[in-house]
Amino acid sequence: MDAALNRLLPRSGRLAEAMRYAALAPGKRFRPFLALEVGRMLSVDEAAIMPAACALELIHAYSLVHDDLPCMDDDDLRRGRPTTHRKFDEATAVLAGDALQSLAFEVLADPASHADAQVRAGLVLSLARATGQGGMAGGQMLDLQGSDEIETMKALKTGALIEAAVEIPLIIAGTAGSERKALVGYAKDIGLVFQIADDLLDAEGDTATLGKAAGKDADAGKANLVTLMGVVEARRRGEELVNKAKARLDLFGERASSLRSIADFMLERRR
């Protein structure tokens, strides 16, 4: 994934430097990995998924750059390094995020990503929905407003892009019916598990391990799933969702073993 991103990203100038700093920072690459694994299970060649997988990571990188800005969460540390606006400056970070988002859609719309224009349009639509008012941007707005609709906010801010990671290979494979329904449900479940784990890590983790500031929600008096439920109940809810997600994969048999492992990883991760 890093090699593919490296080939896609521009190289010349300060803006390109900031884009590369943000997109190539050490990270899990979870969303593109999920897209590739769902594609593998559906017998789609990795090369057919890779451009869209890169677009997912570019969108994720853009969202982190903007999320860390002083006008948003005002973070100084991300993935164990200074945030993009601290490494460069605030204006450059804004432009780097904008350019990463544009590049993601450029990649999807390019005929090199898929020969079928209808498939390309479907990919663009899926990622646009996950990114905009009905997805990440809408979730971030609810977060800024201090909404008490915590699960809705998390589903939009974090879960929408995880759902897109599963939907993208479904579009490329042309999968419909019960298989599509099962995988979309799986994505919704693990999207919420991902956020429960994030909130648990914020409450119980440390900055050195996380690579970002720990305890920020508590320090800011900000509600999250852990402050609402408590650690024990939040973990129980996470385990319930993991089991639900894995049960949705029964119709795929052993083909879904990797996706079951991903569901377990969601709650067990330490950063």
Q: What is the pLDDT of residues 16-53, one digit of tens each?
A: 999 999 999 998 999 999 999 999 999 999 999 999 99
Quickly state the pLDDT bin for 209 (edges 50, 70, 90): low
Contact 53/1 with Cβ under 8 angstroms? yes
CA 69 remoteness from chain centre: 18
- Could you tell me the residue range of the domain that residue 246 belongs to? 2-268
Residue 141, pLDDT above cutoff 70: yes
* pTM for this entry: 0.91
What's the domain count of the chain? 1
Give the residue from 13, 45, 38, 8 showing the smallest Cα distance to 23: 8
On average, the pLDDT of the chain sits at 92
> Given phi > 0 = left and psi -120 to 50 = alpha, else beta, which region is 43?
left
Residue 147 has a pLDDT of 76
Q: Is 43 exposed, middle or buried (0-12, 13-18, 19+ CB in 10 A)?
A: exposed
Distance CA 118, CA 109 (A): 10
Q: C-alpha angle with apex 244: 240 to 248, nearest 5 degrees?
A: 170
**Largest interatomic CA distance in the chain:** 50
Contact 80/26 with Cβ under 8 angstroms? yes
Rounded mean pLDDT, 129-148: 90
Quickly state the pLDDT bin for 215 (edges 50, 70, 90): low
Residue 107 has a pLDDT of 98
Distance CA 80, CA 62 (A): 17
- 236 sits in which H/E element: helix 231-247
Look up the CATH number of the domain holding residue 210: 1.10.600.10
Task: State what percent of residues in the chain have pLDDT above 90.
Answer: 78
Give the residue from 232, 243, 248, 249 showing the smallest Cα distance to 266: 243
Distance CA 58, CA 2 (A): 11
Task: State what percent of residues in the chain have pLDDT above 70.
Answer: 93
